[in-house]
């Protein structure tokens, strides 16, 4: 695990957890450590300290009737909160099946809230139609892309479009955990996708026992006073595997901690300590009106005691083709890994801020420096023997036409995706490839997309076989050239994506989970498309 200084307080939601958990493939370890810590806490600590109970993040969206909805309106009821989309064929219905069981077993009182992270297809009408099939305890929420992004971020929920091969046929990848909120609006549990109904039912019953719920219509008044002081969560019988970091308390309806008078939404999925890292945000007025990019914005990285980490830098404004609002890209210097605050300022004195976590780059190819002078194998290099250069089951041939050297020689920007569908050293493996296919459709004419398998393997009787131990997989020379496989980011930390411009300079890099939105913006910056 990485020790990181904390120049600024932790930021929205549980986002840091996923980064830490994935580091070094330490998921199981983290779970074990968490479980051990929880058991210790149960044994030795006073009730108040057994479980860090924090207020649940706010939810401010539109319900299936088209009315404004606030999670606070469900005070007095335990609430199961999850994110999904109505076109979801497998994951969301499976979660709903689990929750239906929980609701049936726990009796009257609990509520369930389903938030769509597919704003392009789901509105109140779609949610209402979907809810016809569900018990009345459900509320279905939708909102504009900005509203959904802001709400999801507060909950540490990520999502991205995944290409399904047809213009409208996309799917969504998304955080599929179920959150449990108690009758006082506090976050009391988080259950990964696939959790059986039993533990969730037991936790809900525990909450019902500590706070009797009046059956009947959904409470819409002020928070119900239970008379009982907050006493931690001694009655929750199952330890959630992940206890989220406290989300900063927010003013209802705001998209980020209220710092200054501009609302800031962070788009970047990987931010790096070092001489330069691009940080992408969107900005809006307090009433939600997006800043259209006409106003110049400067950025400043702020550490502990309000100390600026470097000079103010101008942010580039960009409106990628098809995007509904402008993004601001600030290339900043962050001295050391850890939590910082990014302040955005306009000439007329308005200001907004957002907490950002800078990752330790280790020896990975530096942003702002020339990309490693390493080639990558193409289809032509292996006489069309696809299996020699990709373990994808249904390879997308567009990834194997051009090498990094070809792109560099042609002065073409490229996106290098280092990922393996077959040798899944982390559960994120294969995902970067799936996500990137969506970007090829948008940028394939101007930008080379190159897939590189990270590991040395042999093809034995038509099957790829790793040349070594999956716990310590051997990186091939092309991957090693990018500085991966060090103590900070070992070979088991996959996938990676590097974005390189037409001059061969590394402009962005991403590890583990990658959103398509920030790569899209970076390609816009590199291509000069949509730059204001």
Q: Is 427 in the site for another protein (CB under 8 A)?
A: yes
Stretch that binds another protein, among 62-70, 130-138, 339-347, 474-482 (CB under 8 A): 130-138
Binding mask 326-365 for another protein (x = CB under 8 A): ----------------------------------------
CA atoms within 13 A on the CB side of 87: 16
Tell me how many residues contact another protein (CB under 8 A): 49
Least Å distance, CB 220 to another protein, is 29
Sign of the alpha-carbon torsion through 208, 213, 216, 217: negative
Region near another protein per CB under 8 A, out of 14-22, 35-43, 256-264, 352-360: 14-22
Q: Which two tokens stand for residue 469?
A: 């131990």
Considering beta carbons, is residue 130 or 339 the nearer one to another protein? 130
Shortest Å, Cβ 91 to another protein: 5
Strand order in the sheet with 338-345: 271-272, 351-359, 338-345, 298-302, 313-314
- Residue 167 touching another protein (CB under 8 A): no
Closest distance to another protein from the beta carbon of 167 (Å)? 13
Please state the closest distance from residue 68 (CB atom) to another protein, in A.
26
12: nearest Cα among 241, 188, 257: 257
The reply to whether 181 sits near another protein by the rule CB under 8 A is no
Spell 446-476 as b/e; 16+ CB within 10 A means b: ebbbbbbbbbebeeeeeebebeeeeeebbbb
Q: Does 526 bind another protein (CB under 8 A)?
A: no
**Nearer of residues 380 and 397 to another protein, judged by Cβ:** 397
Contacts of another protein in 500-519 (CB under 8 A): 512-513
Q: Does 93 bind another protein (CB under 8 A)?
A: yes
Buried/exposed code over 240-256 (b: 16+ C-beta within 10 A; e: otherwise): bbbbbbbbbebeebbbb
Please state, in angstroms and as integers, the Cα–Cα distance from residue 94 to each residue in 1, 89, 105, 124, following that order.
33, 9, 17, 22
User: If DSSP states are collapsed to H, E and C, what string results for 73-136?
Assistant: HHCCCCEEEEEECCCCCCHHHHHHHHHHHHHHHHCCCCEEEEEECCCCCCCHHHHHHHHCCCCC
Q: Which residues contact 445 (CB under 8 A, 6 or more apart)?
A: none
- Token readout for 341 is 């605050």
Show the binding pattern over residues 19-58: x = contacts another protein (CB under 8 A), - = does not: --xx----x-------------------------------
Pick the piece of the chain touching another protein (CB under 8 A) from 191-199, 340-348, 438-446, 475-483.
Answer: 191-199
Kindly list the residues in this chain that would bind another protein in the complex (CB under 8 A).
17-18, 21-22, 27, 86-91, 93-94, 96-97, 100, 129-130, 132-133, 158-160, 162, 164-166, 169, 171-177, 192-194, 242, 393-394, 426-428, 430-431, 434, 512-513
């Amino acid at each position: 695990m990485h020790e990181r200084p904390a120049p600024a307080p932790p930021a929205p939601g549980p986002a840091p957890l996923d980064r830490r958990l994935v580091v070094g493939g330490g998921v199981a370890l983290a779970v074990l450590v968490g479980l051990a810590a929880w058991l210790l806490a149960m044994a030795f600590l006073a009730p108040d300290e057994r479980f860090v109970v924090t207020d649940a993040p706010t939810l401010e969206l539109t319900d299936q009737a088209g009315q404004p909805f606030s999670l606070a309106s469900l005070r007095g009821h335990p609430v199961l909160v999850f994110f999904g989309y109505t076109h979801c064929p497998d994951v969301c219905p499976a979660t709903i099946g689990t929750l239906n069981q929980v609701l049936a077993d726990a009796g009257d009182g609990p509520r369930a809230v389903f938030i769509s992270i597919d704003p392009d297809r789901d509105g109140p009408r779609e949610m209402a139609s979907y809810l016809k099939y569900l018990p009345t305890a459900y509320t279905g929420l939708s909102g504009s892309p900005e509203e959904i992004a802001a709400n999801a971020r507060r909950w540490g929920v990520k999502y991205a479009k995944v290409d399904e091969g047809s213009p409208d046929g996309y799917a969504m990848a998304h955080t599929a955990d179920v959150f449990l909120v108690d009758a006082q609006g506090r976050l009391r549990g988080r259950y990964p996708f696939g959790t059986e109904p039993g533990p969730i039912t037991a936790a809900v019953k525990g909450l019902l026992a500590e706070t009797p719920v009046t059956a009947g219509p959904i409470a819409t008044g002020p928070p119900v006073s239970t008379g009982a002081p907050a006493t931690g969560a001694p009655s929750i019988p199952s330890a959630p595997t992940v206890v989220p970091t406290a989300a900063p308390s927010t003013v209802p309806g705001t998209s980020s901690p209220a710092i200054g008078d501009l609302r800031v939404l962070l788009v970047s999925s990987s931010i790096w300590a070092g001489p330069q890292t691009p940080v992408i945000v969107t900005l809006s007025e307090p009433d939600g009106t997006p800043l259209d990019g006409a106003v110049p914005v400067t950025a400043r990285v702020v550490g502990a005691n309000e100390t600026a980490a470097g000079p103010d830098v101008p942010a580039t404004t960009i409106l990628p083709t098809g995007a509904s609002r402008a993004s601001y890209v600030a290339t900043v210097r962050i001295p050391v890994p850890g939590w910082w605050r990014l302040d955005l300022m306009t000439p007329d004195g308005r200001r907004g801020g957002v907490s950002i976590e800078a990752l330790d780059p280790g020896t990975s190819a530096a942003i702002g420096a020339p990309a490693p002078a390493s080639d990558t194998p193409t289809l032509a290099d292996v006489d069309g023997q696809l299996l020699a250069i990709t373990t994808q089951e249904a390879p997308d041939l567009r990834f194997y036409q051009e090498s990094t050297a070809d792109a560099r020689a042609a002065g073409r920007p490229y996106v290098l995706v280092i990922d393996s569908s077959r040798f899944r050293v982390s559960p994120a493996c294969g995902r970067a490839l799936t996500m990137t296919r969506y970007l090829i459709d948008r940028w394939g004419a101007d930008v080379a997309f190159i897939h590189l398998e990270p590991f040395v393997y042999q093809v034995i009787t038509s099957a790829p076989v790793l040349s070594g131990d999956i716990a310590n997989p051997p990186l091939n020379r092309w991957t090693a050239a990018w500085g991966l496989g060090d103590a900070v980011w070992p070979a088991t930390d996959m996938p990676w994506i590097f974005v390189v411009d037409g001059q061969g300079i590394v402009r962005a890099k991403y590890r583990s989970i990658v959103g398509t939105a920030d790569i899209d913006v970076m390609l816009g910056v590199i291509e000069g498309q949509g730059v204001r």
